[in-house]
Amino acid sequence: MIIKKFQAQTEKEATLMAKEELGSDAIVMNIKTIKPKGIFSLFKKPRVELTAAIDENAAEKKEAAKKQFAKAVEETPYKFGDDVFASSDNEYVVETQSAIEEKINNIAKLLEQQLAAPKAEPEKKAPKEEEAETKKPEEVPEEEQKPKVLDLIRNQLIENEVMEKYADAIINELENQSENQPIDNLLAYIYQKIVLKLGEVSIVKCSENKPKIVFFVGNTGVGKTTTMAKLASKFKLEQKLEIAMFSLDTYRIAAIEQIKTYANILNTPMEVVYTPEEMRKLVEKYKDCDLIFVDTAGRSHKNTEQKNDLDSIISSVKEYECEILLVVSATTKYSDLKSIADVYSDLFDYKLVFTKLDETRGLGNILNLKLDTDKSLSYVTWGQNVPEDIGALNPQVIAKKLLGGAE
């Protein structure tokens, strides 16, 4: 560690001098005002003395941190370009590895700036003889004067609506090892932890035994029909698969019209299903299709009668490979999301689809719900455009956003 003092007229000048001599990795340890002494002191302006320090091995550590970060990205289970919609140009889907790396570096810079911000408060006690000249700081314990990187990261996670208990759990795993760690290292570690916690993403795949049946379930107005139309378009147009669309939404005429419109454009068959018997017959009719997408009526998760109807429809085709996508809106408040997820967990296993990412800033609920339910994450949607605004959830992009790397 090299420690040096710099004197100048202003704090800004002193900082520039320190940066010039010690480099941009230098840390400001103390700033104080020095009153001129002697008989002409009245005519002299006070000067600022800045104490700065630099870790001699900073460059080496930075290089090691970069390597660790690259390794972290490499070792995460989800690889870029794996998803079926890699050609999409949306920020939630396509982020090249180096772009993410760059964003993380930007977050590191941001944190460094925040760390340097309260430098006007002396961090180290000044030597006794100079104490009288120093602006007396308020009686704040030394520990509290120095914001910790981990506190900043924790705040960032909570600001993005990660629940405190999960933000704490992530941070606590690091707390003991954080001493003397460069910011890049800490960020890379936390980023990797979040990516791992989000888990492997599970997208819709055709089964060997045709047809695979995919149900879209969830509360009213969350985007089930739109999401189904987006996926049907993608699979039909990009993967040239044979698709049939069913609707169980017999409550509203408009709902059937909505799917009919999409089915006509896509030139796919569309059927309305009223009973479990009909469901069985219709699946048999379309048994050569790769995928049968089934739209369900929006329902309150508290409505048990409707849920039982759905359960009997799903049970009627259980000899086929079925998949259930629970569609939830990222804008729903967490206590409701949790109760929706719990109610559906009692009925069947499902994967989670998050819609309306474009309507919310905090994506913490994705991590919260994943950790609370341990269900696989699947797709995310970010707008009303069919079919563009959908993609497989990308854990790396979500982790980056949770760490504040969105802008």
Q: Residues binding ligand GTP: what is the number (CB under 6 A)?
A: 19
CA distance 104 to 102: 5
Helix, strand, coil shares of the chain, percent, nearest 5, are 45, 15, 35
Q: Which 278-307 positions form the footprint of ligand GTP (CB under 6 A)?
A: 298
3-state secondary structure of 20: helix
Q: Which is nearer to ligand GTP, 298 or 404 (CB)?
A: 298
- Locate 231 and state its tokens: 């996926």
Q: Which is nearer to ligand GTP, 13 or 311 (CB)?
A: 311
- 196, burial (CB in 10 Å: exposed 0-12, middle 13-18, buried 19+): middle
Q: Which is nearer to ligand GTP, 192 or 225 (CB)?
A: 225
Q: Residues binding Mg ion: what is the number (CB under 5 A)?
A: 2
Q: Does 355 bind ligand GTP (CB under 6 A)?
A: yes
How near is the Cβ of 298 to ligand GTP at its closest, in Å?
2
Q: Which 215-274 positions form the footprint of ligand GTP (CB under 6 A)?
A: 220-226, 249, 255
How near is the Cβ of 224 to Mg ion at its closest, in Å?
5
Closest CA to 74 of 202, 188, 173, 157: 188
Name the binder of 395 from ligand GTP, Mg ion, none, CB < 5-8 A by kind.
Answer: none
Q: Does 91 bind ligand GTP (CB under 6 A)?
A: no
Q: Does 88 bind ligand GTP (CB under 6 A)?
A: no
- Locate 153 and state its tokens: 């990261």
How near is the Cβ of 378 to ligand GTP at its closest, in Å?
14
3-state secondary structure of 339: helix
Name the binder of 384 from Mg ion, ligand GTP, none, CB < 5-8 A by kind.
Answer: ligand GTP
Q: Going by C-beta distance under 8 Å and a sequence separation of 6 or more, which residues neighbour residue 334?
A: 161, 163, 365, 368, 369
Q: Which is nearer to ligand GTP, 50 or 248 (CB)?
A: 248
Q: Are strands 321-329 and 212-217 parallel, antiparallel or unpaired?
A: parallel
DSSP one-letter string for 287-317: TTSSEEEEE-----TT-HHHHHHHHHHHHHT
Name the binder of 382 from ligand GTP, Mg ion, none, CB < 5-8 A by kind.
Answer: ligand GTP
Angle at 122 between CA 120 and CA 128, to 5 degrees: 140
CA distance 351 to 323: 8
CA distance 196 to 226: 29
How near is the Cβ of 253 to ligand GTP at its closest, in Å?
12
Q: Which 305-324 positions form the footprint of ligand GTP (CB under 6 A)?
A: none
Q: Which 356-395 positions form the footprint of ligand GTP (CB under 6 A)?
A: 356, 358-359, 381-384, 389
Which position's Cβ is nearest Mg ion? 225
- Locate 299 and state its tokens: 């329902």
CA distance 36 to 46: 6
Q: Is 335 left (phi over 0), alpha (psi -120 to 50) or beta?
A: alpha
CA distance 86 to 379: 13
How near is the Cβ of 236 to ligand GTP at its closest, in Å?
18
Q: Which is nearer to ligand GTP, 108 or 353 (CB)?
A: 353
What is the DSSP-derived secondary structure letter of residue 148? -
Q: Which 219-278 positions form the footprint of Mg ion (CB under 5 A)?
A: 224-225
Q: Which is nearer to ligand GTP, 224 or 351 (CB)?
A: 224
Q: Which is nearer to Mg ion, 224 or 370 (CB)?
A: 224
Q: Check if the beta carbon of residue 28 is closer than 8 Å to that of residue 51.
A: yes
Which among 216-224, 236-244, 270-278, 285-293 is the span making contact with Mg ion, rule CB under 5 A?
216-224
Q: Which is nearer to Mg ion, 224 or 230 (CB)?
A: 224
Q: Which is nearer to ligand GTP, 134 or 226 (CB)?
A: 226
**Binding region for ligand GTP (CB under 6 A):** 220-226, 249, 255, 298, 355-356, 358-359, 381-384, 389
**Binding region for Mg ion (CB under 5 A):** 224-225
